[in-house]
Amino acid sequence: MTIQDFFPIWNQLNADQQRRLQNSLSARKVKKGEILHNGDADCAGLLLVRSGQLRAFILSEEGREITIYRLFDRDICLFSASCIMRSVQFEVTVEAEKETELWVIPADVYHAVMEESAPLANYTNELMASRFSDVMWLIEQILWKSLDKRLSAFLLEEAAIEGTDELKLTHETIAKHLGSHREVITRMLRYFQEEGMVRLSRGSIKILDESKLRQLQG
């Protein structure tokens, strides 16, 4: 994997710009559960995901979480470098959901190239628009979808990401993804179990009837 795999506009940068970005790269390996970026407390730089999985979430004052998007191989985490844009007035936390290998581009280097390169600035625009779209989808989910639909969508998405019907997830973890409480998730999962859609056991959830879960989406 090379830096070009992350930037389709690489060939529209001049040699000097390419060299500055390339030379600034540092490799980083993070363990599952590690926090990579924490609100506006730091500006870690742009994170290029080489392998693994990251999750960006927001945190309430009371410590409740909700996942706003996830990043996989070849994705770029822009908001860990939010200091490059003055108008970003919100704080996200980025956590490794799996062991993750990254390249980091320091925020100041990226910012300097973006200031002079229209292709990089426009590409950054597209990155932000993608994340914006994720967040708008989330708003619609929260506003118009009931929790049963959101939970079934989450279980099906997890099964697709992990390539398995046997999900190793605690109810607490699910609550954090969905901005809910553990007790509420447990109650809903028990309802799913009574309906024959899942089977619950300690630390895992087995999907028994995918099509019935899918029907919940309406």
Q: Which one, 25 or 83, has the nearer CB to a copy of itself?
A: 83
CA 156, 196, 174 angle in degrees (round to 5)? 40
Pick the stretch among 128-136, 163-171, 195-203, 209-217 that binds a copy of itself (CB under 8 A).
128-136
The reply on whether position 212 binds a copy of itself by CB under 8 A is no
Among 2, 23, 41, 61, binds a copy of itself (CB under 8 A): 61
Among 90, 157, 172, 209, binds a copy of itself (CB under 8 A): 90
Give how far the C-alpha of residue 166 lies from the chain's centroid of Cα atoms, to the nearest Å: 21
The reply on whether position 85 binds a copy of itself by CB under 8 A is yes
Rounded to 10 degrees, what is the CA torsion of 48, 129, 131, 72?
-40
Q: Is the dihedral of CA 208, 175, 127, 93 positive or negative?
A: negative
**Spatial separation of the C-alpha atoms in residues 199 and 175, rounded to whole Å:** 18
User: Residue 70 to residues 57, 80, 83: CA-CA distances in angstroms?
Assistant: 9, 13, 20
The site string for a copy of itself over 13-52 (x = CB under 8 A, - otherwise) reads: ----------------------------------------
Binding site for a copy of itself (CB under 8 A): 58, 60-62, 64, 66, 68, 85-90, 114-118, 120-122, 124-133, 135-140, 142-144, 179
